[in-house]
Amino acid sequence: MAGGPWGPSGRGRCVNPERFRRIRAALDRRQPDLTVLMERVNKPHNFSAILRNCDAVGVLQANVVLPEKEIDLHHHTSGGTKRWVQVRVHKTVESAAEALKASGFRILAAHPTEKALDYRQVDFTRPVAFMVGAELDGLSEAGLSLADEAVQIPMLGMVHSLNVSVATALLLYEALRQRQAAGLYDESRLEEGEYHRLLFEASYPEIAQVLRSRNEPYPDLSPEGEFLP
């Protein structure tokens, strides 16, 4: 690391120890087998709110099929959310479903069909992807046909549905409740290499960018976040 723009060992540019502990604690609770698939969510504030929901419960990566009038992902997402929740963009709902199922995910459509299950009666400790749609139109017929099951949130009033970001929050927090009870948040579930990459990029984003441009590996970090020789 000698000769780098941050000095021979990163000294003088070290991350704040308290912030480093918070980053590690967040990574320790990340859930690689819990995700959301947004099918053409067309309101920027809903898109941004869903990503914040994902971060709040430890989702590692969200999936999105952009609407015809594409959302500027960088403009409508806060820097902190972008750093923590990776966004994987798919061209079609078919390609998104194929990729998720190939990775072992069960796709649950958030849609009030006659056969939809009460979301509180479904096991969310297994690999699961919640598929949610646009505010007015909901999920497409193609999206519904690709889902393994449909789930719904009971509605006792006159309206038929909740705001999509609110509904997604309820689904994710039920998954959080079940997974906490099952001990899935007790220790890191990320692969070692991915954990190290995410830890370094969150702790030293500018240095990580320089190293990526040089195609150089990230250095190891001490438990306090300092560069190891």
On whether both 26 and 93 belong to a single domain, the answer is no
**Nearest one of 116, 162, 140 to 37, comparing CA atoms:** 140
Are 170 and 224 contained in the same domain? Answer: no
**Same domain assignment for residues 147 and 199:** no
Query: What is the domain range of residue 214?
Result: 13-30+192-229
Does residue 6 form part of some domain?
no
Domain count, the chain: 2
Whether 132 maps to a domain, the answer reads: yes
How far, in Å, CA of 131 to CA of 38, rounded?
6
Distance CA 69, CA 81 (A): 22
pLDDT at site 74:
56
Question: What is the token pair recorded at 84?
Answer: 């923590």
Tell me whether residue 75 is in a domain. yes
* Other beta carbons less than 10 A from residue 221's beta carbon: 20
Q: Hey, which residues does 88 pair with through a beta bridge?
A: 63
* Section 2-7 average pLDDT: 46
Q: What is the predicted pLDDT for the residue at 114?
A: 86
pLDDT at 159: 80
Q: Do 166 and 197 have their domain in common? A: no
- In a domain, residue 57? The reply is yes
108 and 204: one domain?
A: no
Which amino acid would we find at residue 93? V
Q: Do residues 72 and 167 both lie within one domain?
A: yes
196 and 149, same structural domain? Answer: no
Regarding whether 125 and 82 lie in a shared domain, the answer is yes
Both 149 and 211 in a single domain?
no
Question: What are the tens digits of pLDDT across the range 181-205?
Answer: 999 999 999 999 999 999 999 999 9
Q: pLDDT by residue (tens digit) across 47-95? A: 999 999 999 999 999 999 988 766 665 555 555 576 789 999 999 999 9
In a domain, 107, yes or no: yes
Task: Confirm if 37 and 61 have CB atoms less than 8 A apart.
Answer: no
Query: Would strands 149-152 and 106-110 be described as parallel, antiparallel, or unpaired?
Result: parallel
The DSSP secondary-structure symbol of 105 reads: P
Helices 192-203 and 205-213, axial angle in degrees (round to 10): 110
Say which CATH number the domain at 130 has.
Answer: 3.40.1280.10
Do 41 and 57 fall within a single domain? Answer: yes
Please report the pLDDT score of residue 3 as a whole number: 39
Q: Is residue 7 domain-resident?
A: no
Both 94 and 196 in one domain: the answer is no
H helix count then E strand count, the chain: 8, 7
Q: Are residues 20 and 43 in the same domain?
A: no
